[in-house]
Structure 1
């Protein structure tokens, strides 16, 4: 490829990024959307284009685009290659390029409204993560996905008071004894590198990793589902978030509740756009 061809392709990438309405996903080619957002992320990392709150919004939008591309049928290897191309292209752009300044202005403008958005849903294939940035003096859900085990509702995500919510599972068991332990089970990427999308969704026992809850307490009323009056809140270590972030958005993970009679109650969840929801929260409380 000649120097002239490289310059033309770089200008084309800049123009595409400048025209991109970043907070929306109503585009025909989800893979192209991901490439364009990955390009802006790479340019930002190299040239320090955006303030931290805009950077967090951009990370959320890029993660959201990746999830949409995977759900549309684009393979993980294709997206990894797209991200590599985006980084390589960003490496050739001068930080003083006027087109890059246009990209910066367009991104700032596109996210101006997003920064004031208090809540956002991140739909997956089967389930939705709901994010909430409204500051509250009482415990509430910052990022939540709902499931069921039998007739008992289970919520999982970030919950708590103030600006430091914890990864939590809240369950209200109906008509049975209470569990003595809980853990997250999910595919172990060291044992199985490819996403597990077969069977009932959960990877085979031989291919799973698990992370145990670090504590339990009565759930505050504001965290309970529907008209439930009581429930338990199980707290999980921060490492769970990184483990979920490594999953394919289409993959299933579960919260297992262990009882003293040897039985296990399993609530299944979808990884979905957990990473995008987490980045949305990083934009700060309103």
Structure 2
């Protein structure tokens, strides 16, 4: 999609692959040969522990190493806006991993909640990319999300001071927000070229907003699910 292939062409290829899979017997000799080729090609990739998934603007960093003693980031993207710094991704202990944001705030006053805002996939036919003749590669993230909706949003399920284990480098302290699993599933269904917005709400004063590129979030999650070779 980032290379300019129309979304309908990508969907058509996927549909043809599914149709071919449904019509091929499981004991097909040709299928067995193809499967062995895939296994051989996949063996090296399966041994990778860490991989970066760069987009046009941001980078998702995935880590499949296991640490049962303390929570770790399995998938993350960092963003900074002035003195406001945040990391969003999947973190926790094995078997108890959640979509989380850890952020620090310039004046030290924490928000009472946070929410993730994105294009409503059910009410729109595709991504909002306000290029206006500019190159998509250099399009700012705030122009990759609808200006006035329709949106869907997911509020944080919990808020707490962040433990030192989850603080990004250079962040002395911060607040951790845990989001529902549905939020990660929704991000995975977005176009990789668009962005999402993380909004922090305060008891007094305006909200603070940060934007992240969707990028290869789906591919990075799939990488985390791969069995180590």
Using structure 1 for the length normalisation, give the TM-score: 0.72
For 1:278, the equivalent position in structure 2 comes to: 221
Structure 1 residue 176 displacement after superposition: 4.3
Provide the C-alpha distance between the structure 2 equivalents of 1:180 and 1:91, rounded to a whole number of angstroms.
50
The alignment partner of 1:88 has SS state of helix
Q: Is contact 2:188–2:218 with CA below 8 Å preserved after alignment?
A: yes
| 1:242 CA drift (Å) | 1.4
Give yes or no for contact 1:149–1:265 (8 Å, CA) kept in 2.
no
1:159 maps to which of 87, 91, 94? 91
Residue of structure 2 in register with 1:203 after alignment: 146
Q: Is 1:253–2:185 an aligned residue pair?
A: no
Which residue does 1:80 correspond to in 2?
11
Q: How many residues align?
A: 217
- Which is richer in helix? 1
What stretches of structure 1 move > 3 A for 4+ residues in a row?
Answer: none
From 126, 129, 133, give the equivalent of 2:60.
129
What secondary structure, in the 3-state scheme, does the structure 2 residue paired with 1:109 have?
A: helix
**Secondary structure at the residue paired with 2:40?**
helix
Gaps of 5+ in 1: 1-69
Structure-1 residue corresponding to 2:123: 191
Instruction: Provide the rounded CA distance (Å) in 2 between the counterparts of 1:139 and 1:165.
Output: 8
Q: CA RMSD in A?
A: 1.7
1:149-201 Cα deviation digits (max 9, x unpaired): 32221000101123321110000112242111100000001222211111622
More strand by share: 2
What's the secondary structure of 2:96's corresponding residue?
coil
Larger Rg: 1
Within 5 Å, give how 1:56-71 maps onto structure 2: 70-71=1-2
Q: Which residue of 2 aligns with 1:115?
A: 46
Q: 21, 24, 28: which one pairs with 1:90?
A: 21
**Structure 2: which 5+ residue stretches go unaligned?**
132-142
